Amino acid sequence: MLLPLLVQNLAVPAAGIGHFEISECPRDTPLAGADVSVDGISYGTTNAIGVLDVILSADAHSYAVSQSDSITATGNFTITSGATLEILVCLEPLINRFLLKAPPRDQPYSLNPDIPRYGHYDCDC
């Protein structure tokens, strides 16, 4: 007879679901294998269609979504008790992102890395 009384007094924390849908920018192609972290804790990777559902406390949270060949995306959201929140994240690929270091003012730019006096070309490809 004491068991029902004990169960009634247990407080269940309010929770909801963060429904992450991850795609590659700008094509909106679903991105499988993207790592999803919430409040600094990794909750796993997206499935074949770029989705990961995470059960979270009803509260404000921050997220980071990353993949080895993409720029990490971050943001904030708030989970409401009993609700599912759709969180759409687009990761920008690193391919074709270039950094051209400036040479001294009296020398022209060069894309030739063998000529250090003209600066050089870095590629994160």
Q: What was the pLDDT predicted at 7?
A: 52
User: At 114, is the pLDDT very low, low, confident or very high (cuts 50, 70, 90)?
Assistant: low
Q: What was the pLDDT predicted at 122?
A: 47
pTM (predicted TM-score): 0.68
Q: Is residue 42's pLDDT more than 90?
A: yes
The whole-number average pLDDT for the span 70-98 is 88
Residue 77 pairs with which residues in a beta bridge? 61
Average pLDDT over the chain, rounded to whole?
80
The whole-number average pLDDT for the span 55-62 is 96
